[in-house]
Amino acid sequence: MSIFLWVAGGLALIMLIWDTVEVGRNDAANLVNAVFGARLMSRRRAVWLAGLAVVVGAALSSKVIETARKGIFEPSALESMAHPEQAAIGIYLSVYVVDTVLLYGYSAFGMPVSTTATLVFTLLGAASVVGGGGIVNWAVSSKVIAAIILSIVLTGLSSFVLQRAVRGAIRERAGHWATMLAHGGWVGGGMAAGLCYFLLLKGMRQIPLIGSLREYLFGTFDAVVVIFALWGGFTIVIHILLVVFGKKAARLLFPTMAVLGMLAMAFAFGQNDLANCASAGLAILNLIWHRDQGVVGATEIAIPRTALLVCGVFLMVGMTTRYAQRVTHAAASTGSQGDHVELWAPAWCLALARFLLRGRPRAQSFAPRVPLTTAGEVVHYDSLRASVIMAVSASVIATASDLGMPVSTTYVAFAAVVATGMADRIFQRGDSVLKLGRAIWVVFSWFMGAAIAVVAGGLVAGGIYRLGVFGIGIALAVNLTARRILKVRSDAQERRVREEARERMAPERYAEELEGG
């Protein structure tokens, strides 16, 4: 085996672990922001609980892995090149070199970035430079990009309509027994039916027992009948629980639905987003291990489920890191029902937000003013809104996983947060300009990240293919240097954001502290 293959294989294994941790670090906010934002449990407990569901979902993610591994470009088109193995490894390795910088940088600045979009656009740029645009599978790539866009639109519309409907019925009386007795059954039953249908009957069809149940149900009944049957059944069960357990059941209904939604979304995340960090590394290791079968033969060999399970564990580890807390906090603050938040956005985003909010109706916000916790922490969402965010997000992602389409958990979760906030009119009070400006900055950064991924992916893949081990060394040097610069700047911004938030919330006290210092 050549020196290039030894170096590439060792680096692929290291960066497989590294990138998996980075994906867990960045996307932790998507899984726990609603439960954490509603202060239903501590961030640490929510992360570990969601992490277990991520591991289970990761073990069942092979369908999405295959789309990412050999769907974006045609491995067979590399066979005619002088060094097909080196070309394929250059393409896959560029994903890690580029992704680890992008994910680290975005996480350090508290910005959620789409790991799916980063993967897709890095592969597109890398494959185009190494083998030309002809090796790109534009049919599959366009479907994946269309699925990402459709998932955002579908999540936004569904979240807005559902939040406005349930808020109109329940208002600020979530947890009141009489209100829950009247509306808790159909609202909670609908959420439970959606999670059951999209998660169990679609997302977990690989499990033999659930697969058999699915075949029986959909072979006997129409899908619409199954959904309404589930809705009716869960409505009856929840109503009975409300009658039997009274006020206690009323208080726990929506917090329970939010936690169940978090677990469902974590499972769907493990199924879908493992492809973003594991597909490239596992593809390289398969290429090296089965190099006697050529590029095409190696990519046809299935990924062992044990490898997927281990990668799921590294995802969970990444979710517990310090920078993951910045993403979680910033994501919750962007859609916060509170008046004051710790956020940053460029001046042009704030100016655009002011322009957009200038014509807003002077109607009262639907979002209830949630009191601080006993520890003085801001409660960003109430449990009703948290349950809607989780239910819609989990259902959309589980559906995409069932279709084998890697969609963006980040885009879906963010769309749900902003759409439910718009339904609750959170931009009617407090730091509305800052929250909307931050939302604009996040969306702009998604497009910016995609452009960076295309260009950087092409440069890195081309360098590795043409320069071999020397190209790998240059790519790593640039990677590590960029991370160092991003760390210094992000830490400085974090301190500045906290000081600005303190000044907005208590300007007189802040001025006194400065004078006294």
Note the pLDDT tens digit of each residue in 202-227. 666 666 667 777 777 777 777 778 88
Three-state helix/strand/coil letters over 147-161? HHHHHHHHHHHHHHH
pLDDT at 205: 64
In a domain, 98, yes or no: yes
Ranges 126-135, 269-278, 370-379, 444-453: which has the least confidence: 370-379
In a domain, 491, yes or no: yes
Q: Distance between CA atoms of 125 and 95, rounded to whole angstroms?
A: 10
217, amino acid identity: L
pLDDT at 474: 93
Domain residues for 140? 3-360+377-516
User: Highest mean pLDDT: which of 197-206, 263-272, 362-371, 460-469?
Assistant: 460-469
488, amino acid identity: V
pLDDT at 322: 66
In a domain, 458, yes or no: yes
| Percent of the chain whose pLDDT exceeds 90 | 17
pLDDT at 352: 92
CB 127 within 8 A of CB 72: yes
Averaged pLDDT, 58-76: 67
Q: Given a cut of 90, is residue 160 above it in pLDDT? A: yes
CB 34 within 8 A of CB 417: yes
Q: Distance between CA atoms of 461 and 127, rounded to whole angstroms?
A: 8
Mean pLDDT score of the chain? 81
In a domain, 370, yes or no: no
Averaged pLDDT, 73-80: 77
Tracing tokens 């869960």 back to the chain, one arrives at 234
Q: Distance between CA atoms of 95 and 18, rounded to whole angstroms?
A: 12
Tracing tokens 């295309």 back to the chain, one arrives at 454
167-197 b/e with 16+ CB inside 10 Å = b? beebeebbbbbebbebbbbbbbbbbbbbbbb
If we measure between CA atoms, which residue out of 34, 32, 450, 24 comes closest to residue 273? 24
Q: Which one has a higher pLDDT value, 245 or 339?
A: 245
pLDDT at 188: 92
Longest dimension (CA), the chain: 76
80, amino acid identity: S
In a domain, 126, yes or no: yes
CB 402 within 8 A of CB 274: no
Q: Distance between CA atoms of 127 and 121, rounded to whole angstroms?
A: 10
pLDDT at 163: 92
In a domain, 365, yes or no: no
CB 128 within 8 A of CB 74: no
Averaged pLDDT, 479-506: 80
Residues composing the chain: 517
392, amino acid identity: V
Identify the band that residue 275 occupies on the pLDDT scale cut at 50, 70 and 90.
low
Q: Distance between CA atoms of 170 and 182, rounded to whole angstroms?
A: 9
Q: Which one has a higher pLDDT value, 407 or 424?
A: 424
Count other Cβ atoms within 10 Å, centred on residue 208. 8
In a domain, 328, yes or no: yes
Question: Based on the number of CB atoms within 10 Å of its own CB, is 345 exposed (0-12), middle (13-18) or buried (19 or more)?
Answer: buried
Q: Which two tokens stand for residue 102?
A: 């992008």
In 3-state terms, what secondary structure has residue 73?
strand
Identify the band that residue 157 occupies on the pLDDT scale cut at 50, 70 and 90.
very high
Q: Distance between CA atoms of 61 and 401, rounded to whole angstroms?
A: 8
Identify the band that residue 66 occupies on the pLDDT scale cut at 50, 70 and 90.
low
Give, rounded to a whole angstrom, the gap between the first and last alpha carbons of the chain: 64
Ranges 204-213, 304-313, 326-335: which has the least confidence: 204-213
**The model's pTM:** 0.81
CB 461 within 8 A of CB 129: yes
Count other Cβ atoms within 10 Å, centred on residue 501. 19
Number of domains making up the chain = 1
Phi, psi of 381, deg, nearest 5: -130, 155
CB 277 within 8 A of CB 20: yes
Q: Given a cut of 90, is residue 477 above it in pLDDT? A: yes
Q: Distance between CA atoms of 281 and 69, rounded to whole angstroms?
A: 10
In a domain, 369, yes or no: no
